[in-house]
Amino acid sequence: MNRKKKVNQILKKRMKKTNSKLHKSNKPRYISKAERAKMEQEEALAAQNEAQTDAVVTEELDSEPKAAAE
């Protein structure tokens, strides 16, 4: 009886492992504090660059009608 029980335990354990590998969790990947700070800094830099390009585009648009009016 003990031998059968032990074999069944081993087989159940293997099945659990294979099933757990098949079903990935929906939990999001962990992002360290340093990575979060880096991502936040990149986003701020991107927003700053976007604001600068928007300002340049509006300046160009404002200057075009003046040049055309002259």
10-residue mean pLDDT series, the chain (70 residues): 94 94 84 96 92 76 60
The tens digit of pLDDT for each residue in 13-30 reads 999 999 988 887 788 899
Residue type, 54: D
**In Å, how far from its chain's centre is CA 61?**
36
18/11 Cα distance (integer angstroms): 11
Q: Print the SS3 string covering 46-58.
A: HHHHHHHHHHHHH
12/14 Cα distance (integer angstroms): 5
